[in-house]
Amino acid sequence: MRRKLLFTLIATVFVSMALVGGNLIAGNKPSLGLDLQGGASVTLEPKGDFDTAALDVAVEIIRARVDSIGVAEPEIIRQGSTVVINLPGVKDQERALEIVGRTGEVLLRPVLQSGMRNTDETTTTIAGQTTLPGATSSTVAGATTTVAGATTTVAGATTTVAASTTSQPASSGGLGSSRRPMSAATTTTPTTSPATSAPSTTVGSGEVGATTTTVAVAVSPSVPQQDISMTNEPSKQAILEGRDGLVYFTGPSQADGQVFANDAAAQINSGSWVVAVGLRGGATGEDKWNALAAQCFQKAATCPTGQIAIVLDGVVISAPVVQTANFSGSVQISGDFKEAEAKDLAKILEFGAVPVRFDSPTAQTVSATLGKDSLNAALISGLVGVLLVLLFLFFYYRRLAVVVLGGLAISGMLQWSAISWLSQRNGLALSLSGITGIIVSVGVTVDSYVVFFEKLKDDVLGGKTLKNSASRSFDSAWRTIVAADTVSLIGAVVLWFLTVGSVRGFAFFLGLSTLCDIIVAYFFTRPTVILMSRSKWMNGAKMFGVRARRTDGGNDLLAESSTEGVVAR
Amino acid sequence: MSSRWGRLYNGETTIDFVGRRWWGFIASGTLVLVTLFSLLFQGLNLGIDFEGGVAWEAPVKNGLTIESATAILEDNNIESRNAKVQTLGSGAGERIRLQVDDQTAEVRSAVQKSLADAAKVEVGEVSVSSVSSSWGRSITIKAIRALLVFFLLVSLYIAWRFEWKMAIAAIMAMVHDVVISVGVYSLLGFEVTPSTVIAFLTILGFSLYDTIVVFDKVHDNTSRFSASRVSYEDIVNVSMNQVLMRSLNTSLAAVLPVLSLLILGSGVFGAVALQEFALALFVGLLTGAYSSIFIATPLLSILKSREPKFRSLIGQRSLKADMTTLMQTGSSVSRKQSARSGADATGAKANPVDAVTAVLSHPPRPRKKTRR
């Protein structure tokens, strides 16, 4: 019995410390919520009908977008059908919210590449160029056009070159998204004929513009970035940045992602990654796509480059060259894809097929200083509060309060480990309501001890020895503790499943601290008190604040009956 | 030892809770009436998370005043008459909070920028939150639904674990807590935010914990006294006195951190978010502690004493010294032990039945053999 208790106690302490140690070594630490760290938060709610699978894809795409703007610890949580995006520590909140809050719509636009009026310049740029083998850097394709309103003409066509991306002129450097230069040359072919075209042969934007055109270089910087990235109005022409770092001048959107069936997949074809996607039948699918493809294949005025830009949220994801006029049933996009790129494109096409449009019913930004102030205030006042509770318990229960101190420490370690681990694994963040919940839960935890100790006191007052009553009082107190904690757990579970937002976060911490309470009561408090009750340190003295009821002779009932207790057993 | 504190400390109080139950009922009834009137005439001050709207919070710096802040609203074509303007915190942490109806994203960021410019701080230092009113409604509905499901499950659990009458009493006490807390918020015009709701839920759990501990004791005592003819009022009184110290200790242990949050956290450090929590927790803790003593248990005694087993004993209450006797002999002290400590005035009557009958005003009915 004694050995078993000792083992339980040591094991509990050891496990708690090991958990903390493990988390420390793994570098896990609780991540702070938005209200403590400052940052931006948006809640997105799907509008109208949506598909659960599509929502999953949408969440992944949002995640990718958030990652691309370099937020340290984004928290993207699906709560039922709503998606909560927390971007702690974001500096440019407005931009972050704007990027996240976009609709996630896939548009198909013919690539005009260069404006009609400046054909001369552009052709000269392209004319007579040789592809530099090995030189993979990007070229900013000529973009000239009338921007919204058709009055001002902006000449685009820039250039550049070679080898190092740093040597790009301001025009392309300023475009913002040329993080990952890659060949823009992708092609679309019907799946029936395997991809034959080598990338970067026929495509203007894919060639390395080796030179010149001073005209364009001079003009481009004057194009405000805003105008380029923001005008994704489907019915108008637009200058859009590409994911590959190029700028596309595109015509009005002639189809959207819904022409594709929901089956896009990345696959290996002739040793290179391609993306295959089916077309929906009928007027809204195949016909629409073929109408666009035909224009591009013929390099008609509306699609002089022969390229179709696949645009997601105003960013050209890929601009494949159309290889045939008539697609039946499916489309295969091939190019110089890496595996990840192909998969990414497949995901986007799939997403475009079943778009989810979001509403953002709440948006919030919290200033960093406000968050830090709250955190400090909560921590300091929380610690003071816990200290006061401990003082009170020491005054009231004397040496028994040591058990409370130990129990709180164990409970603290367990909670810290769980929160750290979940922060790392599941993107849990400790919010102000969470911290408050934990501080208040100290009260609940202490309650368990009080129930136990009062029971113990009762028994000792009633004339039992501490040694005998410890284990029995625990059994009785344990029932009470479990009954009361079950109610708390019911509350936590109900709140978790039926609410959203901060109430839900709170429910988690309520449940966590209740579980810790039960664990600590059984695996720490029980063995500790029972072991202590057998030690000399506790016995015979009024070490836990009990004065035994006095008999007439003034004998201490506690001392008197202690011998009897032994006999009785 | 004989002092009131000493008796309390050792769990030897003999307070007649059941006899004074009407005090509690009348006090609570009055409070509930006041709440209803206040809700009717004053309503609740709901935060934007429930009502929908936009709120900005800007630090008070470099001459940003309420006047200049409202002027910024007017510049953006928002009627400042309809805006809720508050100053929060104090000293370096002082902030101005402006709250208006739904606005477009452009207006939101335009006002944010203007406020930041006026206070000469970075744009990020001005907090903005916007909630659409439909979202606010759905949040409110969700919270209420969660609360109802919670009530239902908890009553089922208590009915299963103890008995259904206890479930009714516990739920009534919880409803009482909610109503009174809402009343306090309505009467004093505090703003109801999600934090408030969270805090109330914490307190409901807490108050329920309290109630369950008392009921557990009552449950124990009922089975212990089942052999004897003790009125339910007596059982409740004894149980209440036995757990009184625990209830007080627990409430004190819970109030200490909350007071610290309220006074130190929001008072000294001026953390407004903490104030919302701590205030609701404080209000809820007080009503919770009160209701488990003055509402839940008296209600239980009313419900239970109508049972056939206890009906004939209604109105019998052992008071003062008699209650002490009942408590001691009713406690699990074995006969032999109490006999040994027999110098005690009443301890000589080792048999609990004898001890109880000794305090009755009339001779006990002879017991039938078949009784439990």
> CB-based burial of residue A270 (10 Å sphere; 0-12 exposed, 13-18 middle, 19+ buried)?
exposed
Query: How far is Cα A158 from Cα A60, in angstroms, rounded to an integer?
Result: 34
Virtual CA dihedral for A504, B253, B187, B96, nearest 10 degrees? -60
Residue A136, pLDDT score:
33
**CB-CB under 8 Å, A502 with B150:** no
Choose, out of A450, A456, A542, A569, the residue to mutate when testing the contact with B (most B CBs < 10 Å). Answer: A450
**CB-CB under 8 Å, B271 with A377:** yes
> What pTM value is reported for the model?
0.62
Query: How far is Cα B236 from Cα B215, in angstroms, rounded to an integer?
Result: 9
Containing H/E element for A125? Answer: helix A119-126
Residue in B199, B274, B341 nearest the CB of A551: B341
Q: How far is B368 from chain A (nearest CA, A)?
A: 31
Task: Using DSSP, state whether A50 is helix, strand or coil.
Answer: coil
Q: What is the pLDDT of residues A294-332, one digit of tens each?
A: 888 888 777 888 888 888 777 787 888 887 777 877 888
Give the amino acid at A370.
L
**CB-CB under 8 Å, B134 with A382:** no
A356: left (phi over 0), alpha (psi -120 to 50) or beta: beta
Q: Bridge partners of B88?
A: B95
A551 touches chain B (CB under 8 A): yes
Q: How far is A386 from chain B (nearest CA, A)?
A: 6
> What is the separation, in whole angstroms, between the first and last Cα of chain B?
39
Q: What is the pLDDT of residues A443-490, one digit of tens each?
A: 777 878 888 888 787 777 767 777 778 888 888 888 888 887 888 888
Residue of A nearest to B264 (CA): A381
Q: What is the pLDDT of residues A412-451, one digit of tens each?
A: 899 889 888 888 777 677 777 777 777 777 777 787 888 8
Residue in A362, A373, A462 nearest the CB of B332: A462
Q: How far is B143 from chain A (nearest CA, A)?
A: 6
- Judging contacts by C-beta atoms under 8 Å, the chain A residues touching residue B132 are 359, 361-362
A518 touches chain B (CB under 8 A): no
- Judging contacts by C-beta atoms under 8 Å, the chain A residues touching residue B105 are 97, 101, 363
**CB-CB under 8 Å, A498 with B149:** yes
Residue A282, pLDDT score:
78
* pLDDT category of residue A546 using cuts at 50, 70 and 90: low
Place of tokens 């966590």: A512
**CB-CB under 8 Å, A369 with B59:** yes
3-state secondary structure A147-160: CCCCCCEECCCCCC
Choose, out of B50, B341, B344, the residue to mutate when testing the contact with A (most A CBs < 10 Å). Answer: B341
A109: left (phi over 0), alpha (psi -120 to 50) or beta: beta
Choose, out of A387, A393, A485, A495, the residue to mutate when testing the contact with B (most B CBs < 10 Å). Answer: A495
Residue of B nearest to A372 (CA): B271
**CB-CB under 8 Å, B209 with A444:** yes
A49 touches chain B (CB under 8 A): no
- The DSSP line for A341-391 is HHHHHHHHHHHHHS--EEEEEEEEEE-HHHHHHHHHHHHHHHHHHHHHHHH
Choose, out of A494, A504, A560, the residue to mutate when testing the contact with B (most B CBs < 10 Å). Answer: A494
Q: Bridge partners of A31?
A: A429
Decide if B119 contacts B125 (C-beta within 8 A): yes
Q: What is the pLDDT of residues A214-238, one digit of tens each?
A: 223 223 333 333 344 445 677 777 7
- Judging contacts by C-beta atoms under 8 Å, the chain B residues touching residue A405 are none
Containing H/E element for A433? Answer: helix A432-461
Q: How far is A447 from chain B (nearest CA, A)?
A: 5
Q: What is the mean pLDDT of each run of 10 residues along chain B (372 residues)?
A: 60 71 85 89 79 80 76 77 73 76 76 80 76 75 83 86 85 87 85 76 75 82 76 80 79 82 76 74 83 83 77 66 62 37 41 50 63 52
Residue B97, pLDDT score:
81
